Amino acid sequence: MHVPVLLNEMLNLLVTNPAGIYIDGTLGRGGHATEILKMLSPEGRLIGLDRDIEAIRQTEETLKEFGEQAIQIHGNFADMKTLCKTVGVSEVDGILLDLGVSSPQLDVAERGFSFGKDGPLDMRMDQSQGRSAADWVNEEEEEALANVIYQLGEERDSRRIARAIVQAREGRRIERTLDLATIVGRAKGGRRGPAHPATKTFQALRMAVNAELESLEAGLEAGLSMLREGGRMAVITFHSLEDRAVKQCFKRHVVKRVSLQQGGEELNFDEPSVQQVNRKPLRAARQELANNPRARSAKLRVVERKMAA
């Protein structure tokens, strides 16, 4: 079960043309996608992407009721332009990215995302390619590991943790989630707050294994270039690194309206021209927070492709 976050806020801001074409770049269990499809008229379509083949398999079942209005494609949203071309779509009315992992991915121990469940240390959203988290922790140099844990996990004890990982792997390979969680927990001197001591290290590894920030940058650029005039892109983030990347990308594309004499910047007409729909990111309301703790850190940013002057 995956409870979609900021659902009503997203629907109100994203679906402006019921007969339009929409992309859900992070289909997951299809929670957001189902509600978007319900708002569409018979001409409207939704293309759902996910790099996890299990998400595609599951939503082929759950979205069956929408017939040909729902199209699922296995792939990375970074490649949305090429993926959508395979079904004859190059321009769309709206795009949703709801970042991170889904509850079912976290819940299945075999996927290796959870420090609370013993499983193989995998963490790949797309298990058909790339290096697993076990490959990362067993093969990377100590300094590279420390840098990843520091930069992507914002973990202050990154050096100590990287040292402990390198020491532990001297006699054996680290292959299991609980093994890694114990090594990290010990390096941090045990549990001190409400969060598990391995939370940030696991987040960092997951982001590195799946090259999440690189995909996000590429997906934002691809998405903005596919929007029709008046089309919108909505992004839900769950931590500061993702939100910063979205904020900065949107900012780069918002053409400054201040004249040069007033100290503004030169307009760059090469860029797709977009405007912010909400200047400040939207957060979950109190009622949603009470029902879904995952919504606590969620932020929704939306931009709209401007009409030509």
Ligand X SMILES: C[S@@+](CC[C@H](N)C(=O)[O-])C[C@H]1O[C@@H](n2cnc3c(N)ncnc32)[C@H](O)[C@@H]1O
Q: Can you give the binding site for ligand X, defined by CB under 6 A?
A: 2, 4, 25-26, 28-32, 49-52, 55, 76-78, 98, 100-102, 125, 215
Judge whether 180 and 124 are in contact, CB under 8 Å. no
Residue with the CB atom nearest ligand X in the bound state: 28
The total number of residues shown for the chain amounts to 309
Q: Which C-beta is closer to ligand X: that of 74 or that of 169?
A: 74
Instruction: Give the C-alpha separation, 104 to 190, whole Å.
Output: 28
Q: Which C-beta is closer to ligand X: that of 126 or that of 179?
A: 126
Q: Which C-beta is closer to ligand X: that of 21 or that of 187?
A: 21
Q: Which C-beta is closer to ligand X: that of 273 or that of 297?
A: 297
Distance in Å, CB of 33 to ligand X, minimum: 7
Q: Which residues of 165-194 are buried (b: 16+ CB within 10 A; e: fewer)?
A: bbebeeeeebbbbbbbbbbbbebbeeeeee
Distance in Å, CB of 295 to ligand X, minimum: 11
Q: Which C-beta is closer to ligand X: that of 76 or that of 158?
A: 76
**How far is residue 284 CA from its own chain's centroid?**
17
Query: Any long-range contacts for 136-143 (C-beta under 8 Å, 24+ apart)?
Result: 136/205, 136/208, 136/209, 137/165, 137/169, 137/174, 137/180, 137/205, 138/169, 138/173, 138/174, 142/166
Distance in Å, CB of 244 to ligand X, minimum: 17
Distance in Å, CB of 59 to ligand X, minimum: 8
Distance in Å, CB of 72 to ligand X, minimum: 11
